[in-house]
Amino acid sequence: MKVAVLGANGQLGSDICAAFRRNGDEVCALTHSHVELTSASSVEGALSAHNPDFIVNTAARHHLEKCEADPIAAFTANAIGAKHVAEWTKRAGATVAYVSTNYVFDGGKCSPYLEADIASPLNAYGITKLAGEHFTAAICPKYFVLRVSAIYGLQPCRAKGGLNFVELMLKLSRERDQLRVVDDEFVTPTPTVQIAEQLVVLSRASAYGLYHGTAEGACSWYEFAREIFRATGTEVHLEKANPGEFPAKVPRPKYSVLENSALKAAHMNVFTDWREGLQNYLNARVQAAVAAS
Ligand SMILES: NC(=O)c1ccc[n+]([C@@H]2O[C@H](COP(=O)([O-])OP(=O)(O)OC[C@H]3O[C@@H](n4cnc5c(N)ncnc54)[C@H](OP(=O)(O)O)[C@@H]3O)[C@@H](O)[C@H]2O)c1
């Protein structure tokens, strides 16, 4: 199978390229320098040059504050960009997978969100990604939308300035004696390698549609930090931040845990418990450091 990955040098895109290559697929790794999502002719040119069977669209503007400050730019990349990709994919008779987010929900449910739950985003980023989902689904008959959550991988996130949450906590633990982390926002931290493996599985399926794709279980950011320090044997004085101590500049859901109910119903779910995913990431991180030395 020939697979095009948009956002190929991103945190998630780089692991997706590696997963499809491990699977024996031919990968066309398309970065922002190869394709501008906001331009229909750029998308047309880049995809027609390779004529892929399966397109994974991870490319997005997803820095929350920047999306809020410039919602038109965010909408043009995340929604109109998805439209351009879906239009090419439909014409080619290919399949598209659009990577979306837990931030399409408002957090009011307080139990894991199912695919059937009504999306009601709180911020411009979530609104533009939900619009991208709708363009993808409405235009292209052979589509997957995969909503992911709180992702982290070995490759730095380009939009968020480099450090994922794990690396940020470990860095701060070296710089400070005491850390305070919010305990009133619940997510499921999900390693990018597992999302990449899930997309390989989906690429072999014809059960098109909307899927939630996160690790199993849930935690607050404080609980995630506590597990990072436990698993790495890091000694640091960690405390729960008081409610409102770190006010968010952009509204975000207090609870955005997803349940992979559609993946499980289709017997396609590859995700493990979030703690196991973290341990695998920490092991891979050590191996990468050894290989680099
Ligand atoms: N990070 C999270 O916690 C999280 C959570 C839920 C969902 N997601 C979703 O997961 C996906 C991947 O996130 P990530 O962390 O891998 O992001 P990332 O590292 O920032 O990578 C995003 C990629 O998109 C490219 N891009 C941005 N605007 C573009 C445009 N107009 N045309 C073409 N390419 C463009 C970027 O290129 P340049 O950097 O060169 O501009 C970069 O290669 C995104 O769709 C995001 O919405 C992320």
* Residue 207 reports pLDDT greater than 80: yes
Q: Is the CB of 35 under 6 A from ligand 1?
A: yes
Using one digit for the tens of pLDDT, what is the confidence trace for 104-135? 999 999 899 999 999 999 999 999 999 999 99
Q: What is the overall mean pLDDT for the chain?
A: 96
pLDDT for the residue 136: 98
Ligand 1 atom nearest to 12, measured from its CA = 16
Entry pTM: 0.97
For 254, the 3-state DSSP assignment is coil
CATH topology of domain 2-247+255-292: Rossmann fold (3.40.50)
Ligand 1 atom closest to residue 103's alpha carbon, by position in its atom list: 6
**Probe target for ligand 1 pocket from 58, 123, 165, 187, with the most ligand atoms within 8 Å of CB:** 58
Mean per-residue pLDDT for 257-276? Answer: 98
Give, to the nearest 10 degrees, the angle between helix 124-139 and helix 81-92: 20
- Helices 192-203 and 11-22 pack at an angle, to 10 degrees, of 50
Answer yes or no: is the C-beta of 212 below 6 A from any ligand 1 atom. Answer: no
pLDDT digits (tens, 9 = 90+) for 268-283: 999 999 999 999 999 9
pLDDT digits (tens, 9 = 90+) for 135-189: 999 999 999 999 999 999 999 888 887 789 999 999 999 999 899 999 999 999 9
At residue 244, does pLDDT exceed 90?
no
